[in-house]
Amino acid sequence: MIGYVTLGTNNFEAALKFYDALFSSVGANRLWKHGDMAAWGRSRAEPALCLACPFNGAPASVGNGVMVALKMTNRKAADTLHAKCLELGGTDEGPPGTRGDHGFYGGYFRDLDGNKLNAYVPA
């Protein structure tokens, strides 16, 4: 049902470099860039993560309680994405590990603009 999710940025060029390096660590690529918006994913037929400077020209801000969950193929990919984010200057919001009693596995982090993401493997 989800086609794409868009996060805001206040430094588009730094964010492009961050997400290019972050997603290449798990085999995803930039799908396109147009003006001050870009998207990453595995293909145009699957959901994508987009990044943009706000259309209204106001500063981008982080939504309290908003998080984007990125489905990984296995735990190693979740670990890799979490570690790469920290290497690129992102911050840790919870190290990769099992959560709850259903086998859900995830690692939480924030990008350079403070947007919260989760690399997870469903149970």
> What is the CATH code for 4-55+67-121?
3.10.180.10
pTM above 0.85, yes or no: yes
pLDDT at 43: 94
Tokens found for residue 20: 């290019």
pLDDT at 105: 97
The pLDDT-based confidence of 123 (bands split at 50, 70, 90) is confident
The number of helix segments (H) and strand segments (E) in the chain equals 2, 8
Q: How many Cα atoms within 13 Å fall on the side-chain side of residue 55? A: 1
Strands (E) in 20-115, as ranges, are 29-34, 37-41, 48-52, 68-71, 91-99, 104-110
| Average pLDDT value for residue range 79-101 | 97
pLDDT at 1: 77
Residues 114 and 62 sit within 8 Å (Cβ to Cβ): yes
pLDDT at 73: 95
Per-residue pLDDT of 2-58, as tens digits, reads 899 999 999 999 999 999 999 999 999 999 999 999 999 999 999 999 999 999 999
Q: Exposed (0-12), middle (13-18) or buried (19+): which is 12, by Cβ within 10 Å?
A: middle
